[in-house]
A and B are shown apart, each in its own frame.
Chain A
Amino acid sequence: MPIMKPKTREPSEAADAPNGQLSFAELVEGLTSGDHAVRLGAVRSLGIQGGTPAIDVLCQHLVIDSDRSTRDVIAVELARLGGEAVVEGLMPLLRSDDAALRNIAIDILKELPTDVAPRMEALLDDPDPDVRIFLVNVLEALRHPSVEDWLVAVITMDTNVNVVGTALDLLNEVGSTSSVPALRAAIARFPDEPFVTFSAGNALRRIGSAA
């Protein structure tokens, strides 16, 4: 789901927000209402309130509420709010067994390059290789000047062949001549993995260098 992130909320939009007079506790309770409109209103109002408690609640509610439209509205609000609290709140979702939930978390993180970029090196050290794969997928959309450097670091140091394979897939798009030594080293580091040879070799050909 590509998230259409509004940069800011218009003042008139905040004034017209549903549940504008309700307390934080009442809005949290509204999230569990059987009335879909009440749930959506609570989500929007919590998005207007902002702050770490509201962000934590919205991130947790993504896990609980499997309704697609509610999840979409939460995603838009979190992408609009951004910040460290949103990144922190979404990281556990990357470990979920719910593939749709992981995709939502990835889509939101892709909308937050300025919040994700300063933490990317630390995030790519996550002990769970599946999380590292998802983070490499986030890199695809970050459009940050360090993306190639991060990818080179992954294919140089990561010991999991599938994390390396995911980074190689992206280097096939963004890799430049500065990736050539790391691409050759990856082929040498995984001599028994035909996919690494194929993907790194393909990147080298695209860049214009022989494997």
Chain B
Amino acid sequence: MKHVLIIDDATTVRMYHRQILSEAGFAVDESINGVEALEKALTKRYDLFVVDVNMPKMDGYRFLRELRSNADVHQAPAVMVSTEAEAKDRDAAWAAGANYYMTKPTKPGALTRVAHLLTGEAQ
């Protein structure tokens, strides 16, 4: 079973993404900001990160930069999920180390497809 870490400060967004990915067969953990997510990523191997942009303490861009520069963390793919849909926001996500960019609110089918593709579990 592939392991996904959902990183979002909004409780209902975490619950929503957890429900979608659990139903798709993933094991899901949650973090409420980038700091907590980095701590989890240092102690557990994840196959995918689903990362919000705007979070207190450590935003999604900074989390990805820290993640990508840390040799002690398994470098799993990351989906950045944001309310912002402009090209500059996507560019910032790529520059920070994201592998895919989705705009909120996500649709269950789209998130499931991307998660399967990025974890090598394409169906």
Contact = CB atoms under 8 A, between A and B. Distances in A.
A139 interface: no
A162 B104 contact: yes
A194 B107 CA distance: 7
Q: Which interface class (under 10, 10 to 19, 20 to 34, 35 or more) fits B?
A: 20 to 34
Nearest to B107: A194
Interface string A161-193: 110011011001100000000000000000001
B53 A99 contact: yes
Interface in A56-83: none
Given A161-B105, A165-B105, A193-B105, A199 B59 contact: no
A168 B12 contact: yes
Given A133-B83, A199-B12, A165 B104 contact: yes
Given A99-B61, A193-B105, A129 B16 contact: no
Contact of A195 (B16, B59, B61, B88): B16
A58 B64 CA distance: 30
Given A169-B11, A194-B105, A199 B57 contact: no
B81 to A, nearest CB: 11
A102 B54 contact: yes
A198 interface: yes
Given A129-B83, A166-B10, A195 B105 contact: yes
Interface string B80-110: 0001100010001000000000001111100
A193 B53 CA distance: 20
A174 to B, nearest CB: 12
Given A194-B108, A198-B19, A130 B83 contact: yes
A16 to B, nearest CB: 32
Nearest to B88: A97
Interface in A25-68: none
26 contacts: A1-B57, A99-B53, A100-B59, A103-B56, A107-B56, A129-B83, A130-B83, A133-B83, A134-B54, A161-B105, A162-B104, A165-B10, A165-B13, A165-B105, A166-B10, A169-B10, A169-B11, A193-B105, A194-B107, A195-B12, A195-B13, A195-B16, A195-B106, A196-B105, A198-B16, A199-B16
Would you list the 4 A-B pairs with minimal beta carbon distance, nearest first? A195-B105, A99-B59, A162-B83, A199-B12
Interface of A: 1, 97, 99-100, 102-103, 106-107, 129-130, 133-134, 161-162, 165-166, 168-169, 172-173, 193-196, 198-199, 202
